[in-house]
Chains A and B, each alone.
Chain A
Amino acid sequence: EPEVTQTPSHQVTQMGQEVILRCVPISNHLYFYWYRQILGQKVEFLVSFYNNEISEKSEIFDDQFSVERPDGSNFTLKIRSTKLEDSAMYFCASSEPGQGDGYTFGSGTRLTVV
């Protein structure tokens, strides 16, 4: 069964450093997403991406964050100047064009900012 692949599974970074979280969505999917889950809390929407541009973003997704699809397979989330409160599990997801379709989530990257 097709999978969304996220790397690394766990990343530790120092406060103020930049991090790039990587995702390989399912190959025939056209919509890509990032969500985050602060430990023990609910899953929160960050951004959706379609046709090489952001289609929707949340209040959380401020200037500190950016997304990119640098080639035909990868989808990245960059966090500039990380803060302690950025520590969370970050999930990438992808979906086919039908709005009713469920996402396929990746297994997540646990980001720890120290």
Chain B
Amino acid sequence: DAGVTQSPTHLIKTRGQQVTLRCSPKSGHDTVSWYQQALGQGPQFIFQYYEEEERQRGNFPDRFSGHQFPNYSSELNVNALLLGDSALYLCASSSAGAFNQPQHFGDGTRLSIL
């Protein structure tokens, strides 16, 4: 049973570029959440997708956008990259309404901005 998979594992970009990160949820899960984890800090919630719509959003600018596909996989897009966007981006999956079931995380994408 495959868990949450994310691609790519590492990415290097320069300021001003845009990037797309991808996530496939654990089998049986229909909800995908994205988190940004800066070095030495806890993950910060970016947004959550369910039924192909953004259900919740954290305190992130509109440069951060996402999408969920009919097969529940998801993309995170970041435009006009800044140095401060360098971080580990984590994807978590869960089942809608299953608030007392643990969320499952992928290994993340390490994004470095030069």
- Asked if A and B bind, the verdict is no
Binding site for A on B (CB under 8 A): none
